[in-house]
A and B are shown apart, each in its own frame.
Chain A
Amino acid sequence: GESVGLHLPTLSVQEGDNSIINCAYSNSASDYFIWYKQESGKGPQFIIDIRSNMDKRQGQRVTVLLNKTVKHLSLQIAATQPGDSAVYFCAENKNDYKLSFGAGTTVTVRA
């Protein structure tokens, strides 16, 4: 069964605002946590990952926060744009070949 899960299945955000997508996990043995984005009709696309011994990692317009105490992972998107509309998945990897995905949050950006 899944060991990662998302808090909310949908999120609506105004263009230009910041988005926060949350994810809970149960497997403390995971070495990495990863965020993927899936646009309609496409396969998932890697956004950013974070090693389990880190608390925060920043990319271009995105920040991932990891709270190991409460087993919580979040993805923050700054200045959300229409192109950010997609389904976002958190996933975990025990530093091997298999990614375990959660159910996904659908983000809709309002103009």
Chain B
Amino acid sequence: DAGVTQSPTHLIKTRGQHVTLRCSPISGHKSVSWYQQVLGQGPQFIFQYYEKEERGRGNFPDRFSARQFPNYSSELNVNALLLGDSALYLCASSAPGSHNEQFFGPGTRLTVL
């Protein structure tokens, strides 16, 4: 069974650039969440989308945006990259009504130089 997939695996950008990260949820999961994990810390919630609508947003600036497509895949966009945006970006999907058990992808490692 395919789990949550994310692309790309690694990415190197320079300050001021923008980046688009992609996520495909587990088949049948309609909810996708995005988290940022800085080295040595726990994941921090960025967004959740359900049925193509934003359900919630964490404490991140407007440079961060996301969307969900009809096939429930999702994109995370970050504009005007800062050095502090360097992190592992994790995508997770969950089954309806199962908010605690989120299935995480392997993440995209973003390095901003």
Contacts and interface: CB of A to CB of B under 8 A. Distances in A.
A103 B44 CA distance: 10
B42 A104 contact: yes
Given A32-B100, A46-B101, A101 B106 contact: no
B44 A97 contact: no
A97 B95 CA distance: 11
Contacts of A49: 100-101
Interface string B80-113: 0000000000101000000111111111000000
B56 A43 contact: no
A95 B99 contact: yes
Given A97-B33, A97-B56, A46 B42 contact: no
A49 B78 CA distance: 32
A46 B58 contact: no
Contact of A43 (B42, B48, B104): B104
Contacts of A2: 42
Contact of A98 (B58, B90, B106, B107): B58
Contact of A34 (B43, B100, B106): B100
A49 to B, nearest CB: 4
Contact of A93 (B4, B31, B44, B100): B100
Contacts of A41: 106
Contact of B90 (A44, A93, A97): A44
Given A99-B33, A103-B42, 11 more contacts: A34-B100, A42-B104, A43-B92, A44-B90, A46-B101, A91-B42, A93-B99, A97-B55, A102-B42, A103-B40, A104-B42
Interface of B: 4, 31, 33, 35, 40-45, 48, 50, 55-56, 58, 90, 92, 99-107
12 contacts: A43-B90, A43-B92, A45-B104, A46-B100, A46-B101, A97-B48, A97-B56, A97-B99, A99-B35, A99-B99, A101-B44, A103-B41
